Amino acid sequence: MPEMIRLTSAIDGFEFDAWHGKPDGARKGGLILIQEIFGLDDYILEDARRWVALGYEVIVPSMFDRQERGFVAKHDADGLAIGRKYAGDNGPENPVADVKACVDALKQDGPVFLIGYCYGGTVAWRAAARIDELAAVVSYYGGGVAGIADMTLKCPVICNFGRKDAHIPADDVKATIKAAHPEVPVYIYENSGRGFNNDGRPDSDAQDARLARVRAAALFDACGAVITP
């Protein structure tokens, strides 16, 4: 059964909460999921359960515990405003340090992968450049990725963007990423906008969401995901 655990960040010794789930059967690897700015809401936890069912041991850190422990917001104007504030207050270093604590909790049992969504998509890119032990990273609609595209990556990365995302000019961002890292696949999903991995959201297209997950799973397989008893 999933449980909430507490991990300690190396940067300041801060203890933060995280959702932790293990597969019932064989394990393929460790996987860290990084939230949108809305906290550990139903969408990210549904995604976590989906990956656990595929054989991954999953940790989902509560990224804004320094600002408000257990923060969860609605996907509305108020939730957006608070989430953006907390994201800014959290800075660039705290998230990477918290991801590193998650990696340390998983790495003893095999390769560790990471998927980040929106806010987490930018954190994912930064983590791929800063953390040695990550085997592969998938970034979804990371609005800040273009601004840090020139960071040197330590592992394979995939980027996903929605064509209908009004806040991220998909073609321009793709060009920026490819100019810095021609080896990084950057996929644009024509029927989707921001948040398209969230089933049932207005900008979600089921086929696009499934295709992105298939691509992520294929990347993990290519980078060491192996079934172990």
Q: Within a domain: residue 229?
A: no
Give me the chain's average pLDDT, please: 96
What is residue 1's predicted lDDT score, i.e. its pLDDT? Answer: 78
> Token pair of 2, please?
């999933």
Q: How far is CA 107 from the centre of its chain?
A: 17
For residue 94, name the pLDDT band (cuts at 50, 70, 90). very high
What is residue 226's predicted lDDT score, i.e. its pLDDT? Answer: 87
What is residue 119's predicted lDDT score, i.e. its pLDDT? Answer: 98
H or E segment at 86? helix 77-90
What is residue 229's predicted lDDT score, i.e. its pLDDT? Answer: 66
Q: What is the pLDDT of residues 30-71, one digit of tens each?
A: 999 999 999 999 999 999 999 999 999 999 999 999 999 999
CA angle 180, 160, 129 (to 5 degrees): 45
What is residue 10's predicted lDDT score, i.e. its pLDDT? Answer: 83
Nearest CA among 54, 66, 170, 192 for reference residue 115? 54
Q: Within a domain: residue 90?
A: yes
For residue 200, name the pLDDT band (cuts at 50, 70, 90). confident
What is residue 11's predicted lDDT score, i.e. its pLDDT? Answer: 86
What is residue 146's predicted lDDT score, i.e. its pLDDT? Answer: 97
The domain tally of the chain equals 1
Assess contact for 52 and 22: CB atoms under 8 A: yes
Assess contact for 56 and 27: CB atoms under 8 A: yes
DSSP 135-188: EEEEEES-TTTGGGTTSPPSS-EEEEEETT-TTS-HHHHHHHHHHH-TTS-EEE
Assess contact for 40 and 18: CB atoms under 8 A: no
What is the average per-residue pLDDT within 165-194?
97
Assess contact for 55 and 25: CB atoms under 8 A: yes
Q: What is the pLDDT of residues 120-171, one digit of tens each?
A: 999 999 999 999 999 999 999 999 999 999 999 999 999 999 999 999 999 9
Q: How far is CA 215 from the centre of its chain?
A: 14
Tell me the whole-structure pTM to 2 decimals.
0.97
Q: Within a domain: residue 68?
A: yes
What is residue 48's predicted lDDT score, i.e. its pLDDT? Answer: 98
Q: Within a domain: residue 44?
A: yes
- Dist CA 176 CA 162 (whole Å): 16
For residue 99, what are the domain limits?
3-222
Q: Residue 137: which CATH number?
A: 3.40.50.1820
